[in-house]
Each structure stands twice: as structure tokens, then as C-alpha cells.
Structure 1
């Protein structure tokens, strides 16, 4: 009986979390161009599923293009989405995996490269590839 209640509670909590996350709007924190062929979009509350991530991109790519003309330019081949907050690089080995942006004057101009929910590759022949990461892949990578 206790196992049944625990399982029911866990299932209900998981369902509530999924519903909660699905109603939160995606927030674009920043857009950067650290290289000629790369655009980095910093987001918060990105969709959890592969379908949700790709659908969000397809629905909002025109809006991002209007805000940042380089997003869909022919020279731009990679669009990297990172779900993170800006941090200050302390200059230690612990921060060696940070991606820092020179276009920001603030001291907190770096982000962690760990949480990459979506990577879009535009190939010169016109193909587009979507690479997604979910929470389980991120968890397994840190084991």
C-alpha cells in the first residue's frame, strides 16, 4: 500500500512538473555572434521535448531574424541554443568550459556550455539538421 501511494505521488508530481513547464513561455535572454558562422541564443524555459524545441524554433525564427539579422543569414551555419544564465569568469580552471562574449561590456559575460537543448546545422547544400538534448542525456553525461 505504501509503495502504491509513493508511486502515485511520484507520478502526480511528474505530471504537474510537465504541465507547469509546458505553460511557461520561452524567454530569450540574449543573442550573440561569437564567430562568422555561429549564432548563440541564450534562453530560459525552453521546451522539454524534441518536437517542442524544433516547433518553437520554426515558429519563432522569423522573429529572431527580425531582431538579429545574422540568425538566418547564408553565412551562418550553426545556431546554438543554451539554457543558462550569464556568469562572471573567475579565471580559474573551474571556469575553463565557459563561453564568453566579447560583445558584452558587463563582467558577467560568460555562459556555461553544459545545457544545450538545441543545435541547428545549416549545410551549404540546403539541408538542415536539428540536434537536441534532453534532461536524461545531460544527467548521463555527468555520471
Structure 2
């Protein structure tokens, strides 16, 4: 019986190590900005290898928003300070409109000007609300001390 328990323990340990290795490898891949599409104060940024966690996504924005401003001139706020940026998973690349659940970009010629809708992060800013982050799991804001706080209504 002891030999069987040792084999189960060893197998569990090997599986755990493999999963941890995969997670670490996936976590440390650099984010790739594939394309940027703009429509006034609304921007869509197509990315690959975006962080997996809410915290990782927001931290990536905080660390890289100056680079995005410098390289792509994003965000481009309206006169009242409003802007909205959606980070989309580029996935399998551009596709034809075909499916109903695709995001198509008017700044490209059809038919291959759409992506599957898989938003990863939305960054919004307005005079009344300040900057906030919308993710599948809820909405977050940075408080005055720089700490990320999830909205209680989510």
C-alpha cells in the first residue's frame, strides 16, 4: 500500500510542477500590441499574451500607458477628458464579418476587417468618475493611495 501512495504522491507532484511551469511560462511572455484602431476618443488595441489576472491587466496598463501615449498617441481624450480604450484578444487574427459576434473596424477595408469579440480590459476615464477599469469579473478603481479597489456594486 505504501508503494502505491508514493506513486500517487510522485504523480501529483509531477503534475503540479508541470502546471506551475506552464503558468510561469505563460505569465512571463511579453504583451504584443498587434494593432490599434481609433474612432475619436474610442480606441481598440489588439493584443496577444495579455496578463491572465485582473491585477496583472491593470498593472500592465499602469506600467505601459505612457508608452502607448508616446507610440500610438492613445488615449485621445475628448474636450471634457472622456476616453475609452478596449484591449481585445487578437486570437486567430482578422476575419470576415460572417459571425454575429465579431468586432469590425471601419478604418479597414472589408471583408477581412473583424475580430472575434473577446475583450480583455476596458479603461475608461471621465471628469466625473476618473479612471476606472472594467473586466469580466467587475469594475475597479485606483484610490488616492494607488491601491486597486473593486466596486462594491459588482
Structure 1 or 2: larger strand share?
A: 2
Do structure 1's residue 25 and structure 2's residue 30 form an aligned pair?
yes
- Provide structure 2 residue ranges, at least 5 long, that are not aligned to the other structure: 138-154
Bigger Rg over Cα: 2
How many residues in Structure 1 have an aligned counterpart in Structure 2?
A: 128
Superposed CA RMSD in Å reads 2.2
Displacement of 1:100 = 0.9
TM-score, structure 2 as length reference: 0.71
Residues 32 and 109 of structure 1: CA distance in aligned 2, closer, same or farther (over 3 Å):
same
Structure 2 counterparts to residues 119-138 of structure 1, below 5 A = 119-125=122-128, 127-133=130-136
Structure 2 counterparts to residues 87-126 of structure 1, below 5 A = 87-89=94-96, 91=98, 95-105=99-109, 107-114=111-118, 116-125=119-128
Point out which structure has higher relative CO (alpha carbons under 8 A, 6+ apart): 1
Structure 1 or 2: larger helix share?
A: 1
Give the Cα separation in 1 of the matches to 2:22 and 2:135: 20
